[in-house]
């Protein structure tokens, strides 16, 4: 903590000193008034400061200056938000999250792109570009947004076609030979039709991880994405927005650091854990511990591996949507029809050694169809209401292949094992939301949503000799001779979620709120690797009852905003990832309960001319109820990926120069205390706290048409893990590390 406050003090003093050293100018920036961002957190445009929900927003400026490039990049700019960045990224809000590699698993934090629900975690792997804003809604959103929102919702909004012609080009070059380009063009096609075309590319020939086995670096990027939009006004009351997007990703993701767990003194004859594995000093090259290859695991540098293959992505995505909005005089009708396609073909070397001991190929193909229709009332004087219907249909095909050709442990050695299944899901919901004014400055909030869901699962696990080939792009086994597991079944869920709240707004700059709300996360079937029929198990829906009170206050002539909240969650049947009955299988199961209690404070102070200071603090205490791993009770374990304290902040100073130019300096930080990265709270997956420090300095035109910026991220070169997979039964603990220090230059130009 002393380190954190020292950094805050140095940042503040340093930038104030910088401001005092700049020459005086007659073009001083007037101290403006802070204004809440317009958001659609309740599916209608509102000022974020007038909504009784804990919301963190990132503006277009924030997205560009923080260099938010992926949906998961919100982590370091929001309190009580974490991200596990495995091959399947999962966002966690207030401890409601997941750590999974089963591709059919849904996150308890819903993600929406232009109000379109992205149901599977691998859909978050794509790039973000030409963005308008990000809204992080904390707490269950079970009435308006529905399924899989026990933790909240992260809503991304892209920029839309404009009436005035505009275009822009953003270029970047950074460490590891990374080259980025983002561009857009927008404007009218005729009097009633507008268009926008935007795209993004990121390429590199280098990466942050050195592979001693190949003598090459890994972690290169090769991404391309495009989006086109047409906005048509057939009448004064109606508008139609058609959007189409697509992308492909041929990148390499960060290689796994590995720690061997076999006892070198008896290896390879006896495959037992080494003594150091049971101590808190267990590290990558612990004395007497070896990998299945017999290696010690190399040195303690997290950015050095000794792997026989790279971790490769071969992803493709496509989607389209049609949004209709029409004014019915008494209400606004909105219809959103969308289709999303994603094909994921990923190879990862989980054992990180020169032999084929634990290598996985993931093939997923998703077709997702969604339809939402809603009516919003127009009048705000006598309250407002919203009613709607939502439908979703998913078709998911999965083939997971585990290759253990050279592993010394029978019966895995010499075999390739594949778990293949198809899963279809249908979900139908009806929902309503009202805000009704009571006496004076009080407003009552009510919400109700009924959801019906059905999933059909048909899966099988088979093995073949590793020497036999796999077939085609889907990696299906060509010569299976052994069936380990098989299941075909249906899972059905019905849920009624509600919200009841009160808002008290005695002044335009003050809002006090409190509410009780519920939400649920769908149940289903395990879709990782099932080495026995028992591991094709069914898990229950996760349900939450949440209590929250909060305030949103603007002070000092609208130059200081302070938003705060306190919450308590009672979670029934929380879904967790734990060891299955057949090692090394992992399954999703349910604890009987979990409790989360916490608080947050976010402050934004426009201290003086051009100087903005932001700080957010989150506190969280989250514990599981009863569940078992290998027959041992885990009651009282801390919820995974839930640090007790999180801090985020920035200091940004903008100063005008002569000749229509200005200088912008910004420093931001993110601090997290220690946390557990597995639900079992094993010491091998306990990660210490860390603090990230970033900085940026830019020279820009006063009208923001041109900017050149130098930036650095993780300037103190902090090393921390965001994912751990303890597979000690196969001799491995796999670690995924953060990126080391990066730095670069951005050039942005708007026509």
Q: How far is CA 719 from the centre of its chain?
A: 20
Say if residues 271 and 408 touch (Cβ distance below 8 Å). Answer: yes
Place 9 in a pLDDT band, splitting at 50, 70 and 90. Answer: very low
123 in helix, strand or coil? helix
d(Cα 136, Cα 79) in Å, to the nearest integer?
10
Q: Residues 419-468: pLDDT tens digits?
A: 999 999 999 999 999 999 988 899 999 999 999 999 999 999 999 998 88
Place 365 in a pLDDT band, splitting at 50, 70 and 90. Answer: very high
Neighbours of 79 (CB within 10 A): 27
Percent of the chain with pLDDT over 90: 67
Cα angle value 178/179/182 (rounded, 5°) = 135
H-run or E-run covering 11: helix 2-21
Provide the strand spans (E) within 191-330: 193-203, 209-211, 216-218, 222-232, 238-249, 257-260, 262-263, 289-290, 304-305, 312-313, 315-327
Residue 26, pLDDT score: 34
The answer on pLDDT for 20 being more than 60 is no
Say if residues 641 and 633 touch (Cβ distance below 8 Å). Answer: no
Place 412 in a pLDDT band, splitting at 50, 70 and 90. Answer: confident
Say if residues 297 and 289 touch (Cβ distance below 8 Å). Answer: yes
Cross-strand bridge partners of residue 534:
none
Tokens of 89: 């990224």
Residue 17, pLDDT score: 41
Provide the strand spans (E) within 438-541: 442-465, 470-471, 476-477, 482-507, 510-521, 524-525, 538-539
Say if residues 293 and 355 touch (Cβ distance below 8 Å). Answer: yes
Query: Going by DSSP bridges, is the β-strand pair 222-232/312-313 parallel, antiparallel, or unpaired?
Result: unpaired
Tokens of 254: 């960060």
Most confident residue range from 124-133, 318-327, 382-391: 318-327
Whole-structure pTM value: 0.92
Query: Who contacts 491 (Cβ-Cβ below 8 Å, separation ≥6)?
Result: 453, 454, 455, 457, 523, 524, 525, 538
Mean pLDDT of the chain: 90
């Amino acid at each position: 903590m002393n380190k954190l406050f020292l950094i805050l003090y140095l940042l503040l003093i340093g930038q104030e000193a910088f401001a005092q050293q700049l020459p005086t100018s007659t073009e001083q920036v007037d101290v403006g008034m802070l204004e809440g961002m317009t958001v659609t957190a309740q599916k209608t445009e509102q000022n974020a400061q007038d909504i009784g929900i804990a919301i963190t927003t990132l503006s277009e400026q924030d997205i560009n200056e923080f260099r938010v490039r992926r949906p998961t990049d919100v982590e370091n700019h929001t309190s009580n938000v974490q991200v596990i960045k495995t091959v399947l990224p999962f966002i966690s809000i207030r401890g409601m999250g997941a750590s999974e590699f089963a591709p059919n698993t849904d996150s308890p934090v819903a993600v929406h792109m232009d109000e379109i629900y992205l149901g599977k975690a691998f859909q978050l792997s794509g790039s973000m570009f030409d963005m308008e804003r990000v809204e992080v809604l904390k707490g269950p959103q079970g009435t308006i947004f529905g399924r899989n929102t026990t933790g909240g919702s992260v809503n991304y909004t892209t920029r839309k076609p404009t009436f005035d012609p505009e275009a822009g080009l953003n270029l970047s070059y950074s460490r590891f030979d990374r080259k980025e380009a983002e561009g857009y063009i927008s404007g009218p096609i005729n009097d009633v039709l507008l268009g926008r075309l935007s795209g993004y590319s990121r390429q590199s020939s280098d990466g942050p991880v050195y592979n001693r086995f190949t003598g090459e670096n890994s972690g290169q990027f090769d991404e391309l994405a495009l989006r086109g939009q047409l906005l048509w006004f057939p009448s004064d009351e109606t508008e139609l927005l058609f959007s189409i997007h697509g992308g492909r990703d041929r990148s390499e993701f960060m290689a796994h650091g590995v720690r061997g767990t076999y006892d070198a003194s008896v290896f390879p004859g006896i495959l037992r854990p080494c003594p150091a594995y049971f101590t808190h000093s267990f590290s990558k090259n612990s004395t007497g511990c070896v990998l299945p290859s017999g290696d010690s695991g190399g040195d303690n540098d997290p950015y050095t591996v000794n792997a026989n293959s790279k971790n490769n992505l071969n992803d493709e995505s496509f989607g389209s949507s049609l949004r209709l909005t029409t004014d019915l005089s008494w209400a606004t009708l909105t219809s959103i029809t969308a289709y999303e396609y994603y094909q994921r073909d990923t190879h990862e070397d989980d054992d990180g050694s020169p032999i084929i001991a634990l290598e996985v190929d993931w093939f997923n193909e998703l077709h997702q169809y969604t339809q939402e229709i809603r009516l919003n009332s127009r009048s705000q004087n006598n309250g407002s209401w919203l009613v709607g219907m939502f439908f979703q249909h998913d078709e998911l095909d999965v083939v997971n292949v585990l290759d253990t050709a050279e592993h010394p442990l029978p019966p895995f050695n010499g075999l390739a094992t594949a778990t293949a299944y198809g899963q279809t899901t249908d979900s139908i919901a009806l929902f309503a939301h009202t805000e009704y004014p009571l006496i004076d400055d009080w407003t009552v909030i009510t919400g109700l949503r009924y959801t019906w869901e059905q999933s059909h699962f048909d899966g099988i696990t088979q093995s073949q000799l590793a020497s036999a080939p796999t077939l085609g792009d889907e990696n299906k086994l060509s010569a299976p001779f052994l069936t380990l597991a098989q299941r075909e079944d249906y899972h059905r869920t019905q849920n009624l979620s509600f919200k009841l709240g009160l808002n008290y707004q005695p002044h335009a700059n003050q809002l006090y709120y409190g509410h009780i709300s519920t939400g649920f996360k769908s149940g289903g079937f395990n879709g990782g690797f099932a080495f026995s029929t028992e591991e094709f198990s069914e898990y229950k829906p996760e349900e939450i009852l949440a209590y929250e009170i909060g305030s949103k206050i603007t002070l000092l002539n609208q130059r200081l905003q302070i938003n705060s909240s306190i919450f308590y969650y009672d979670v029934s049947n929380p879904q967790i990832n734990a060891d299955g009955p057949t090692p090394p299988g992992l399954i999703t199961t349910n604890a009987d309960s979990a409790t989360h209690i916490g608080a947050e404070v976010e402050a934004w102070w426009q201290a003086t001319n051009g100087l903005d200071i932001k700080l957010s603090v989150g506190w969280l205490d989250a514990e599981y109820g009863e569940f078992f791993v290998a027959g041992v009770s885990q009651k009282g374990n801390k919820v995974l990926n839930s640090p007790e304290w999180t801090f985020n902040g920035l200091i940004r100073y903008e100063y005008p120069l002569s000749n229509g130019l200005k200088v912008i300096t910004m420093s931001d930080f993110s601090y997290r205390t220690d946390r557990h990265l597995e639900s079992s709270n094993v010491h091998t997956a306990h990660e210490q706290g860390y603090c990230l420090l970033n900085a940026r300095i830019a020279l820009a035109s006063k009208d923001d048409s041109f900017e050149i910026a130098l930036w650095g991220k993780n300037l103190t070169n902090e090393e921390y893990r965001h994912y751990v997979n303890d597979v000690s039964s196969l001799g491995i603990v796999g670690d995924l590390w953060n990126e080391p220090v990066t730095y670069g230059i951005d050039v942005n130009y708007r026509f």
